[in-house]
Structure 1
Amino acid sequence: MKYIIGVLSIIIICGLAALVSKKRKEIRLRPIFVMLATQFIMAMLLLKTNVGNTIIMTFAKGFGYLLSYAQEGVNFAFGNLVNQGEMSFFVSVLLPIVFISALIGILQHWHILGFIVKYIGLGLSKINGMGKLESYNAVASAILGQSEVFISIKKQLGLLPEHRLYTLCTSAMSTISMAIVGAYMQLLDPRYVVTAMVLNLLGGFIIASIINPYQVQPEEDILTIQEERQSFFEMLSEYILDGFKVAVIVAAMLIGFIALITMANSIFTAVLGISFQEILGYIFAPLAFLVGIPWEEAVQAGGIMATKIVSNEFVAMHLLMNSEFKFSEHSIAVISVFLVSFANFSSIGIIVGAIKALDSRQGNTAARFGLKLLYGASLVSFLSATVVGLLY
């Protein structure tokens, strides 16, 4: 039964994408089927094989070392802020982002990341049937982040037509930045974080290929990576400050959204006898069921999924961790993969603001398709969750 529901879910997700497509006759099915097959192969490799387990455990262990190094700096600055034996989300989960951001800056400065991203992107372009720039941007987004990635292609931004800009923005919203992977791994099982990263990378192209089909002509398919000339310490201080800004911004968003959701729950419960999150849960329950959540868990899971879209993934992860409802391991896997992306309303502002700072005209273009962008990126999350629901 779950396989029938899973296949139906994929058809519905692709159908919802086609529903808002203005060029349905130009949709190319072959690259979509190839990418779907690649998603299943990668998910099976990561979740069902010893090789995949080894890859994930190595990845998680490496981040564990990095987080332990980061904690030394955090403890020096904020060592007495937390009582012994207690945990502060800001200190323990968010502040290590500063160190990870600095490390990314060093690898970028030494051209190590640029080399990796460029050639993975070139390989990916052979699978997705799209341009080299789109493929580079997808991989770079998963490392640099949804706003920083546009700096690396700022020379091309002003030359891009709207359909190519939409694909770039979809990739940026569907992925996550390497700087916060460590934070995610402290909240979710590393297996699901790594799997979601890979599936979302491909899923972004699948959904964009349906909503926004096009072919890049050879003369348009030019990949030039923009690199800023900075001294080592100028770069390092910039990345450290950027990491701290991310940590503070995420903390501020959590304070605001969790407080607002708590207030909304209280008001709705007092007036209607049902909390705001329960209402969201009932609305999203059919979608949660489609992606593989058992019906008896669908309302609670739907509430968490909806919270991620209307607020952000950290708020939803907090709810998943502290939920009194005991989800099955299968449901935890599906929900966790769904949560690992930047697909939420606040990301529209982040992406539009980043592009507008580099090219005001293109920033206005991105603002016009902002809701369509969130719609597509959310479908990417549902697609990745469906794949895991079928295989787990």
Structure 2
Amino acid sequence: MKFSVGREVVRAAADGFNWLVAVANKGIAFALPDWLKPTTGSPNFVTSALLPILLVVPLFDILTYIGLLPWLVKWIGRGLSFITHQPRFEAFFSVEMMFLGNTEVLAVSKEQLQQMSARRNFTLAMMSMSCVTSAIIGSYIKMVPGQYVLTAIPLNILGSIAIAAILNPVTVSDDEDIIVSVSKNENQKREPFFSFLGDSILNAGKLILIITATVIAYVSLAALINQLLSLTGWNWLTLENIFGIILFPFAWLLGFDVNQAFQIAQYMGTKLVTNEFVVMGEITKNIMAQKGLFANEHARVVLTVFLTSFANFGTLGMIIGAFKSLVSKEKTDYISSRVPQMLLAGVLVSLLSAASAGLFAW
């Protein structure tokens, strides 16, 4: 928030990936023009978050095929690994996921994921809970203060590395800390380019179907739980309020009085059960006008930064669905059995980022 250079770097990177999504939209517009017109006031989920995978995955697979992406991961990862003391791929992944989004970054990392241990895959799953995608950043900025959104992105990078290292410490030897490339994976003659490209496109399509089905199921199950809770006759008993109560102590520790903390905690709980767009749509008028709770800059900063990530129940489904189509059943089962830790990681990263940003706005 205080350093314009950092914001400009993040904005430039986001604009670059946003350009890539805009290119993908040309293909989407040709096949499914009506899908590019949101009718709910927020972007169509499948169009904005999933269909660009059909361009992003083949593009990154091509970069892997020619050896450029492994080279970038090797050297950028080495620098980030030196700073963060994490394995090279995990260090590079933390930056890559902040602009590509969780499903896209996992999809373009398929070869690497298949060579990594289940425990290292779980580290990436936890980190993926805290990402955003460049295609969505523009929508965020229309609803909440843009400078706080751009501040949240690098904070989430650092937070995801720290929390993953605490919740799932992994020691990686030099022999394991390798970057996979297509040429090194093939014992025989390398697959012809267009055959390779065709397989990449088909795999991207399968991934979209699996993620869509999984997200629908997870979100529907959350709605079903709310309906069952309503049978008690207590209208206040919802998943959103339950998580709001759980998060109240943390909201209070972020520097709010009791009444403000309860309001902030309810927004946090709603975000976890639904998504950030629901909360941003609810608060946009007041936070942009700096009214009510948001007359206080500290509240504007803390809540905006907390909301700027995909950490919610639907994202759990997206990540599990992505891994199901990318790695072995054994690795997927390992990750699926630790879903509570994934949700905890997402919440802790959001709280850590919000607390860090809040220190600069009282």
Instruction: Calculate the TM-score normalised by the size of structure 1.
Output: 0.67
Question: What root-mean-square deviation, in Å, do the aligned CA atoms of Structure 1 and Structure 2 show?
Answer: 4.3
Partner residue in 1 for 2:102: 145
Report the equivalent of 2:264. 301
Q: Deviations for 1:99-144, whole angstroms, at most 9, x for unmatched residues?
A: 7545534652345665544433222111221222322333343325
| Residue in 1 that maps onto 2:91 | 135
Structure 2, gaps ≥5 residues long? 186-190
For the pair 1:156 / 2:110, whether they are aligned, the reply is no
CA distance 1:209–1:68, shift in 2 (3 Å): closer
Corresponding residue SS for 1:391:
coil
Q: How does 1:273-288 map to 2 (within 5 A)?
A: 274=236, 276=238, 277-278=240-241, 280-288=243-251
Shift of 1:205: 1.9
Q: Which residue of 1 aligns with 2:338?
A: 369
**Distance in 1, Cα, partners of 2:17 & 2:280:** 19
Which letter maps to 1:364?
D
Change in 2 beyond 3 A, CA 1:206/1:274: same
Whether the 8 Å contact between 1:101 and 1:242 is mirrored in structure 2 is no
Letter of the structure 1 residue corresponding to residue 335 of structure 2: A
Q: How many residues align?
A: 338
Partner of 1:43: none
Larger mean Cα displacement after TM superposition, 321-330 or 168-177:
321-330
Name the residue aligned to 1:311.
274
For structure 1, the 5+ residue unaligned runs are 1-46
1:340 maps onto 2:308 in alignment? yes
1:179 CA displacement:
4.9
Q: Helix, strand or coil: the match of 1:341?
A: coil
Matches of residues 1-392 of structure 1 in structure 2 within 5 Å? 47-56=1-10, 58=12, 78=33, 88-89=40-41, 95-97=47-49, 100-101=52-53, 104-105=56-57, 107-108=59-60, 109-110=62-63, 115-142=71-98, 143=100, 145-146=102-103, 147-148=106-107, 150-157=109-116, 160=117, 162=119, 164-225=120-181, 231=194, 234=198, 256=220, 267=230, 271-272=233-234, 274=236, 276=238, 277-278=240-241, 280-321=243-284, 326-328=292-294, 329-357=297-325, 358-392=327-361
Q: Give SS of 1:48's match.
A: coil
1:386 match: secondary structure: helix
Report if aligned partners of 1:95, 1:244 keep a CA contact under 8 Å in 2.
Answer: no
Matched AA of 2:346: A
Local SS of the residue matching 1:174:
coil
CA displacement, residues 322-349 of structure 1 (integer Å, 9 cap, x when unaligned) = 7798432432322222122333334334
Distance 1:87 1:258, change over 3 A: farther
Task: Please give the alpha-carbon distance, in whole angstroms, between the structure 1 residues aligned to 2:19 and 2:93.
Answer: 28
Decide whether the 8 Å contact of 2:214 with 2:318 is kept in 1.
no
**Alpha-carbon distance between aligned partners in 2 of 1:214 and 1:203, rounded to the nearest angstrom:** 17
